[in-house]
A and B are shown apart, each in its own frame.
Chain A
Amino acid sequence: MSILTRGHSATEEARNRTFGPLYSRNAKAVIERGLMAIRSTNWLVMLSGFFEPVLFLISMGVGLGAIVGTVQGPDGAEISYAAYIAPALLAVSAMNGAVYDSTWNVFFKMNFAKLYQGMLYTSLGPLDVAVGEIFLALLRGLLYATGFTAVMGVMGLITTPWAILMIPASVLIAFGFASLGMGITSFLKTFQQMDWINFIMLPMFLFSATFYPLSVYPQYVQWFIQAMPLWHGVELLRQISVGMFTPATAVHIGYYLVMTALGMLLTTVRLRKLFLK
Chain B
Amino acid sequence: MRNKAIVPSNTSGGVPARHQAVIEAKDLRKTYGDVAAVDGISFSVPAGESFGLLGPNGAGKSTTMKMIGAVTQRTSGTLSIMGLDPDSHGPEVRAHLGVVPQQDNLDEELRVRDNLLVYGRYFGLPMSYLRPKADELLAFAQLTDKAKSKVDALSGGMKRRLTIARSLINEPRILLLDEPTTGLDPQARHILWDRLFRLKEQGVTLILTTHYMDEAEQLCDRLIVVDKGRIMAEGSPAQLIREHSTREVLELRFGSERNATIGAELQGIGERLEALPDRVLIYAHDGEAALEQVSSRGLRPLTSLVRRSSLEDVFLRLTGRSLVD
Contact = CB atoms under 8 A, between A and B. Distances in A.
Interface stretch (B113-121, B181-189, B238-246, B281-289): B113-121
A29 B109 contact: no
A5 B12 contact: yes
Contacts of A122: 94-95, 119, 122-123, 170
A10 interface: yes
A7 B126 CA distance: 15
Nearest to B95: A123
Contacts of A21: 88-91
Interface residues of A, number: 46
A6 interface: yes
A67 interface: no
B125 A11 contact: yes
A33 B199 contact: no
Interface stretch (A12-20, A72-80, A220-228): A12-20
A2 interface: yes
Interface stretch (B67-75, B290-298, B302-310, B315-323): B67-75
B192 to A, nearest CB: 15
Contacts of B126: 10
B101 interface: yes
Interface string B83-102: 00000111110111101010
Contacts of A146: none
Interface in A16-43: 17, 19-24, 26, 29-30, 32-33, 36-37, 40-42
B197 to A, nearest CB: 13
B171 interface: yes
A113 B108 contact: yes
Contacts of B90: 21-22, 125, 276
B177 interface: no
A6 B204 CA distance: 12
B105 A115 contact: yes
Contacts of B88: 21
A55 interface: no
Contacts of B95: 14-15, 17, 19, 24, 122-123
A175 B133 CA distance: 37
Contacts of B73: 272, 276
Given A3-B168, A5-B202, A12-B14, A124 B107 contact: no
A3 B132 CA distance: 11
B71 A29 contact: no
B110 interface: yes
Contact of A5 (B14, B101, B111, B114): B14
B109 A37 contact: yes
Contact of B171 (A6, A32, A124): A6
A6 B171 CA distance: 8
A189 interface: no
A225 B104 CA distance: 47
A24 B119 contact: no
B110 A121 contact: no
Given A276-B71, A276-B72, A118 B106 contact: yes
B103 A33 contact: no
B109 A118 contact: no
B92 A124 contact: no
B33 interface: no
Interface in B181-229: 198-199, 201-204
8 contacts: A2-B202, A5-B12, A7-B171, A8-B171, A11-B123, A30-B122, A122-B95, A276-B73
